[in-house]
A and B are shown apart, each in its own frame.
Chain A
């Protein structure tokens, strides 16, 4: 099973700031990585797949990068709707696995 590790666990930032969240895989997953955003009481929403391809309707201020074992998602200018929990997921191999999440909170 591939272990996905996200850092930091919590990130405090102000609206308008640029933030970068990290995700590390325990082995090479090529570019088979997705990012999700989750708000309280809701199911996760797909943001990025293929490590860097934005899903339909995702704003350009959200970008993903990386390959192999190291990945990041960057929000170039935090908006109020971006304060949420973010998860990464690998789909290189079964079983599919998720990271433990990064909470982006208002500073």
Chain B
């Protein structure tokens, strides 16, 4: 059964770049059947979709509210995909999740990783 695991620093300072990685096991990031997403959830709030990447075509879709600061990529050699978010502020404090979705169409997510809490504070 495919599993996902997020990794990255738990604390960032304002204006820094947040970099997270999602490791995929029992499945391939190269699959034409899936795309890969990042979703975040500020404390006590609902989830917010950040963006999605489809490795087969290199296509990405980003949330317009974050588009100017977000980049996602896939490293097939490591079976991982990653998220970079620049110029972070306290509003970026959240639990960040990676998840699998259907091939590049708008889709539900299943499964999700356990999440990693990122706090932005000086």
Contacts and interface: CB of A to CB of B under 8 A. Distances in A.
Nearest to B98: A43
B106 A44 contact: no
Interface string A64-102: 000000000000000000000001010111111111110
Contacts of A12: none
Contacts, number: 57
Contacts of B37: 96
B108 A94 contact: no
A93 B105 CA distance: 9
Nearest to A1: B64
Contacts of B48: 98
A16 B2 CA distance: 33
Nearest to B107: A91
Contacts of B112: 43-45
B114 to A, nearest CB: 6
6 contacts: A34-B108, A43-B113, A43-B115, A46-B109, A46-B111, A87-B46
Q: What 6 A-B pairs are tightest by C-beta distance, nearest first?
A: A43-B112, A34-B108, A46-B110, A91-B106, A96-B49, A100-B46
